[in-house]
Amino acid sequence: MAAPLNCMSHVPGAGLGGLALAAVLGGLLHCFGGVHGSAGGWNSLNDDLLLPYLPPQHGPQHHRRYVRDCQALLRGNATHETWPSDNSTASPLAVTYTFVSDFPPHHPNRRRVYGHLTIVRDPLRTFSVLEPGGPGGCHFHRRATVEETVSRSQCLVAQNGGYFDTKTGACLGNVVSNGRLVQSSGGVQNAQFGIRKDGTLIFGYLSEEEVLATENPFVQLVSGVGWLLRDGEVYVNQSQVAECDETQETGTFDTFVNIVSARTAVGHDRQGQLVLFHADGQSGVRGLNLWEMADFLKERGVVNAINLDGGGSATFVVNGSLANYPSDHCVLDPTWRCPRSISTVLCVHEPACQPQNCSGHGHCTLGRCHCHGAFWSGPACDVLDCGPSNCTLHGMCTDVGCICDAGWTGENCTQACTNGSYGDSCAQKCLCRNDGKCDPVHGSCTCPVGFQGIFCEEDCPLGRYGPNCQHPCQCPNQCYCDRRTGSCNISLDSAVLDKLSRAGLCLLQATSKEEFLFSKKVWVAISLGLLVLLSLSVLVNVRLALRSTNQRHEHGQYISVPLEEINGGTKERIPPAAWEEDDPTEAAWDTNLTESVHLL
C-alpha cells in the first residue's frame, strides 16, 4: 500500500549548500519544536501579530451588496466561485512539497523563503476544519497549538486556519466543522473557503443565508481575509476594495496586504485537489506579502485561493510533529521560537469509514473497511455472506460460516444427514437397530416391519406382526404368523423354536402350579367351613342345655327334710299322698327326683 503522505523538497536557484541548509534547519526545527512546542513552559509570547482589523472588529462594516456592486461586470452577481472537488481514491492521499525560494526572483534584494505546498486528493473525505483543542473549543474561547489539536484527530498534515481574538481567544468568522455549524459571522464579508455536502468547493464572499442553507449544506467552512486568486487570476486588489481599507494592530489594511510575513493559504487546482500553502517568516523581516503569495500559487496551477491567519500563527505540522520555524519567541527563553496557541486548524487525514469502527467487524484504512474473517462483507462490514447459496434455506450464516439446521450438513448446508447421524450439523450418532430409519432432525427411530421399541431393538411378540407390531395374527387355531408379513405359512428357525419351547415349558409349569394352588385352597376352605359348622353346633347344644337347666330351677318343688333325719335320726317317711299333684310333668319330674334321691 502506498504511503498516504509524500514529502518532497524543492530549492529553486539553490545549490548543494542550500539543500544542506534546509535539511539541517528542518532537523533542528523537528528537534526543538517537537520537544518544546507543546510543553507548558515553552508557550509563545504572541509577539509577531499580523491582524487585518483592530479588535474586537473583524471584517468590513458594509454588506454583501457593496461587494457585489464594486466587482467587475464580468463577474455578474456572483460573489463566490464553485468548483467540483477531486474524488480520486488513488494513493498517496497527500503530497507535501518543501520549497526554499527567492522572492522576488533574481532581485538584488531578494529574500530566501522556506515553506510547504501540500496537494490533497478527495478533499470531501480527507479534509476537516477542527476547533481548537477539539469540539467545543470555539464556544469556550479555547486556544491550543496545532500539535495539541491534531493529537486527537490523527492528521497527516495540518496547519493553522482562521483568525481569532488575541485578547479573548474567541474564534472569528464562520466555522463549520465536520458538518456541524460551530458559529456564523452574521454575514460579515470576508473571504471564505468551504466544502458543501456534495463535495463542491466554495471560495469567496457569502451571505448569511448561504452560510446557513440546509439544502446541500456546508460540511467544512472557515473564514480568511483576502481573496488571493479568483478563477486563475490574482484577485488581491479587488479583494482589498471589497474587504475595506481598515486599520489593524500593525497598521492599515494596505500594510496587512503588503508587509512580508509568515503566511498560510488554502486553494485548489483544476483537478479539484485541495492546495495548502505555508511559508515561514517574521513580520517586516522575512516571508511573503499577499501579492507574492498569489503569484507563487498562480504559477503552480492554483485556480482559487484565500489568505488565512499568518504571522506568529503560521504553523505547519506533519504526522503530529512541528515541521516549520515559528516566528513567535518563547516565554521561557526568547532565544528560542515557539508555536502559538491558535484557534481553528486545517487537517488532512485518512478518509473516515462509515461507521468508523466498521461495525466492529473490520478495520478502517484510507476510508475503506477491511473486513475481518471470510464471511463479513459490505462497505461497513455489516453483511454476512457465506457464498452464492448463503447456507440455502437450511442454515444460518455466521462469522464462522454456515451453522446448519438440524438434519443438514455441508459447507452451504446442502447435504441431508446420512442414516447414521442426526441433529445440528449432523453431529449426533443415530442409535436405531435392526435397520431402523433415523429421523435426521430429532434422531427418533422408525422401525421396519417386525420390530418395535424406542430403538427398534425388540422383535414383534408372538402373535403380532407388521409396522410397530400393531396387527394381531389371523392364523387358525391361534397359530403364530410371520412377524413381518403376517403369513401363517411359516417355518420357524431354531432360535424361535427354542424360544417357543422355553415359553411352553414355562407356561406348563405355571399352569400346574396354578392348579395345585387351586386344589389346596379348595380343601383348606372346605376344612375351615366344616370346622366352623362344628363349632356352631357345639355352641348351639351348650346353649340349649344351659337353657333347660335354668327352666328346672325356675319350676321345681323343693322338700324340707330335717337334718337329723338325713343323719338317720328317724325312719318315718312322708307318704307320697302328702304331695300335691299339680302337673303330670312335674309329678314325673318329682318321681325321678325321688328316685335320684333314693339312689343317693
Residue-by-residue DSSP string for 142-208: --B-HHHHHTTTT-SEEEE-S-B-TTT--B-S-EEETTEEEE--SS----EEEEETT-EEEEE---H
Cell numbers standing for residue 581: 299333684
- 8 Å CB contact between 304 and 83: yes
CA 488-493-498 angle, 5° bins: 105
What pLDDT does residue 243 have?
78
The answer to whether residue 530 is domain-embedded is no
Cell 544542506: give the residue: 20
Q: Is the pTM of this model over 0.85?
A: no
pLDDT at residue number 78: 85
For residues 402 and 467, membership in a common domain is answered with no
448: pLDDT strictly greater than 70 = yes
Predicted pLDDT of residue 343? 96
Helix (H, G, I), strand (E, B) or coil at 539: helix
pLDDT given for residue 563 in this prediction: 52
The total of structural domains in the chain comes to 3
- Write the DSSP string, 191-219: -EEEEETT-EEEEE---HHHHH--SS-EE
Whether residue 600 is contained in a domain is answered as no
Is 449 exposed, middle or buried, given 0-12, 13-18 or 19+ CB atoms closer than 10 A? middle
User: Residue 470 domain-assigned?
Assistant: yes
Binned at pLDDT 50, 70 and 90, residue 258 comes out as very high
Average pLDDT over residues 357-365: 92
* 75/78 Cα distance (integer angstroms): 6
Q: Cβ(8)–Cβ(300) under 8 Å?
A: no
What percent of the chain is predicted at pLDDT more than 70?
A: 75
What is the rounded end-to-end Cα distance, in angstroms, of the chain? 154
Torsion of CA 144, 150, 152, 153, to 10 degrees: 140
Domain boundary among 492, 517, 551: 492
Q: In the prediction, which pLDDT does 23 show? A: 38
> Are both 221 and 341 inside the same structural domain?
yes
Rg of the chain, C-alpha, whole Å: 61
How many whole angstroms from its chain centre is CA 203? 42
318 within 8 A of 332, measured Cβ to Cβ: no
pLDDT 10s digits, 299-349: 999 999 999 999 999 999 999 999 999 999 999 999 999 999 999 999 999
- CATH number, residue 425: 2.170.300.10
Please count the other Cβ atoms lying within 10 Å of the Cβ belonging to residue 389: 15
* 417/459 same-domain check: no
286 and 426 share one domain: no
Q: In 3D, which of 241, 303, 288, 216 has the Cα closest to residue 62? A: 241
Same domain, 244 and 169: yes
Write down which residue in 492, 527, 553 finishes a domain: 492
In a domain, 53, yes or no: no
Distance separating alpha carbons of residues 568 and 21, to the nearest angstrom: 186
Question: What is the full DSSP assignment across 266-281?
Answer: EEEETTS-EEEEEE--
Nine-digit cell string for 589: 319330674
Q: Could you tell me if 381 and 362 are in contact, meaning their C-beta atoms sit under 8 angstroms apart? A: yes
Closest CA to 343 of 204, 136, 52, 151: 136
Same domain, 322 and 400: no
Q: Is 87 left (phi over 0), alpha (psi -120 to 50) or beta?
A: alpha
Residue position matching grid coordinates 435426521: 440
**Which pairing describes strands 5-10 and 94-103: parallel, antiparallel, or unpaired?**
parallel
Does one domain contain both 159 and 214? Answer: yes
One domain, residues 168 and 215: yes
Query: Is residue 18 over pLDDT 90?
Result: no
- What's the pLDDT at 387? 81
Give residue-wise pLDDT tens across range 76-125: 578 999 999 999 988 899 999 999 999 998 889 899 999 999 999 999 99
What does the alpha-carbon distance between residue 66 and residue 563 come to, in Å, rounded to a whole number?
A: 180
For residue 528, being part of any structural domain is answered with: no
The amino acid occupying position 249 is E
Residues 77 and 138 in one domain: yes
- Is 44 a domain residue? no
**CB < 8 Å & 24+ apart, contacts of 367-370:** 367/89, 367/122, 367/125, 367/126
- Both 113 and 223 in a single domain? yes
- Most confident segment among 69-73, 305-309, 470-474: 305-309
Of 162, 467, 209, whose CA–CA distance to 343 is shortest?
Answer: 162
The pLDDT value recorded for residue 435 is 87
- Kindly report whether the peptide bond that precedes residue 476 is cis, defined as omega within 30 degrees of 0: no
Distances (CA, A) of 291 to 261, 263, 287, 484: 12, 11, 12, 109
The reply to whether 396 and 487 lie within a common domain is no
- Does 585 fall in a domain? no
Question: How far is it, in rounded angstroms, from Cα 523 to Cα 529?
Answer: 10
464: in domain: yes
390 shares its domain with 461: no
pLDDT for the residue numbered 556: 52
The domain of 180 spans: 64-349
**246 pLDDT exceeds 50?**
no
Name the β-bridge partners of 408: 416
Domain termination residue (choose one: 330, 349, 368): 349
Pick left, alpha or beta for residue 88 (phi over 0 → left; psi -120 to 50 → alpha; otherwise beta).
beta
Could you tell me if 11 and 19 are in contact, meaning their C-beta atoms sit under 8 angstroms apart? yes
Q: Mind listing the pLDDT tens digit for each residue in 393-407? A: 888 898 888 888 899
